Amino acid sequence: MSLFSSWIASPPPDAAIEIATDHVAVAVLGARSGGLVVQSYASEPLPPGTVTASLTSSNIHNRAVVVSALRAALDRAGIRPRRVALVIPDLAAKVSLVRFDTIPARREDLDQLVRWQVKKASPFPIEEALVTSAPGVRGADGSAEFLVVATRRDTVAEYEAVCDELKIEAGLVDLATLSLVNLFLGGVEVPPGDWLLVHLRPEYTSIVIMRGEHVIFFRNRPEGDEASIADLVHQTAMYYQDRLSGQRFARVFLGGGGLRRIDRSDALCIADRSHLRDAGPDGRARTADRHGDPDAARSGDRLMLRTNLSTRPFYNERAVQIVLGAVIVLIAVLTGFNIVEVVRLTASQRTLGAHAVESEREAARLLTEAAAVRAQINAKELETVASAAREANGIIDQRAFSWSGLFDQLEQTLPDDVRIIGVAPSVSQQGQFVVEITVQARRSEDVDQFIEALEKTGSFRDVITPAEATNEEGLLQAVIKGTYVRAEGPRG
């Protein structure tokens, strides 16, 4: 495992709590010399009938007594854990081994397949069940076996409620025998072949056959069976050789608080199969093996049985803390950036506001001065000056009038029967040159011909005859008025 992965990994529980039918116990494990050691342990007995392990009915009949016993055990151990692994009796759940020819790629699909498989043999509705599984041995054809543990949700909630009253989070809930398997997996060197674990409790006996790090057989026998422990182990060994292709156990482990129920002959019968290791009722390991090493170190990180029946499993607090920390840092950076921008924009707004106020003051001053200047001007004098200016502009425009150009246009367009007797140019209010031409002709058609000729040159437009009359000589005298657009300067 990399340093980063180990750093962000969820921390282990602070302690382990076992609620059995006859006692409650609390233990704190620690690592030393590559193995696990018990750093603190305490146990308190329970009155008979306080806890009854059952798969189909209520398990804890007097929660207050169990809570009081657990509080006393914690006081004796001198710990106040916040997160614990909770161990419950094997009889509170059903353990199965199921095999699938093909394994779904998605974990959700696998969970649904497992629930469907155990539904047929479940003594309670699967909708009310907690189901957890751990991978087992894989076949060469791609098939795989899974260890499946199922129990009623209400049953687990009863055990968790005891911890809840002491404000302890039980995010890991497992069976006693499977917890013992994990203890061996984590604390001793796992034999390279098959090994046997016999877990004896006053109310039941569980037998597990392990193939390396995987469960290949699990059997639970309630107390009351007439067969002896030795007979039970012998039957298991026969099944192991006939159905599981087994040869010989590399090691046999005995554990649990029911070791007092076996006599020396049973122990020798079991030990004859291979090695014997006794975990003892107090949780301390002692060996009856002349060849085994009780302090055998673990050779690296090993696979553990990842079954968990908790209704509120632990989540990776460190990963969540890292994400929250990153979010907080990002928010802090964005907040700092926003503060800098607000300060900058506030200063800019203050500067622009000062400039706007100054501009408004200058505009008001100019408006005041303009009003004062307008008040000093005499309207009649202003009109006189304007009239004089217009007259001066007219004179200037007339001086700039091109007489030669005009006469050239008249000469080119004047019909033979029309005579010009007067030309009077002027400047209109729109600044355009207006020419009035007084002509004499014998007929009005000649005058019209002259007007059409003027307009065709393009130098005249809007040509009209505002006045026509016949003089004493009988000639038609007309005034032709039009806008002269070819106003060029003097040619010479």
Strand order in the sheet with 251-255: 214-222, 204-211, 194-200, 251-255, 276-278, 286-287
Q: What does the pLDDT read at residue 130?
A: 94
Residue 463's pLDDT is: 83
Dig out the tokens for 317 from the structure: 């607090």
378: Cα within 13 Å, side-chain hemisphere: 4
Which pLDDT score is estimated for 169? 93
From first to last of the 492 residues of the chain, give the pLDDT tens digit: 444 454 445 678 889 999 999 999 999 987 776 666 788 999 999 999 999 999 999 999 999 999 999 999 999 999 999 999 999 999 999 999 999 998 888 989 999 999 998 988 888 999 999 999 999 888 888 889 999 999 999 999 999 999 999 999 999 999 999 998 988 887 666 777 888 999 988 888 999 999 988 999 999 988 766 667 778 888 888 899 888 888 888 888 887 765 555 555 555 555 554 434 444 444 333 333 323 333 333 334 556 788 999 998 887 666 666 778 888 988 998 999 999 999 989 888 888 988 998 999 999 989 988 888 877 777 777 777 777 776 666 666 555 567 777 777 788 888 888 888 888 888 777 777 788 888 888 888 888 888 888 888 888 888 888 888 888 788 888 888 888 876 444 333
Rounded Cα gap, residues 423 and 446, in angstroms: 18
How is the chain split into domains, by residue range? 13-315, 316-376, 395-484
Instruction: Please give the Cα distance from 130 to 150 (Å, whole number).
Output: 6
Question: What is the reported pLDDT for 398?
Answer: 58
Q: What is the CATH number of domain 13-315?
A: 3.30.420.380
DSSP 276-292: EEE--TTS--EE--SS-
Q: Which residues contact 87 (CB under 8 A, 6 or more apart)?
A: 16, 17, 18, 19, 173, 174, 175, 176, 179
Nearest by Cα to 422 from 479, 466, 467: 479
Strand locations in 417-485 (E): 418-427, 433-441, 460-470, 476-484
| DSSP secondary structure code for residue 126 in this structure | G
Q: In whole angstroms, what is the distance from residue 41 CA to residue 198 CA?
A: 22
The fold adopted by the segment(s) 395-484 is Threonyl-tRNA Synthetase; Chain A, domain 2 (3.30.980)
DSSP conformation class of 128 = G
pLDDT at 46: 95
Tokens found for residue 132: 């957890």
Cα–Cα distance for residue pair 254/410, rounded to 1 Å: 140
Sheet holding 476-484, edge to edge: 418-427, 433-441, 476-484, 460-470
DSSP states of 210-270? EETTEEEEEEEEETT-SS-HHHHHHHHHHHHHHHS-----SEEEEESTTGGGS-HHHHHHH
Model pLDDT, residue 24 = 96
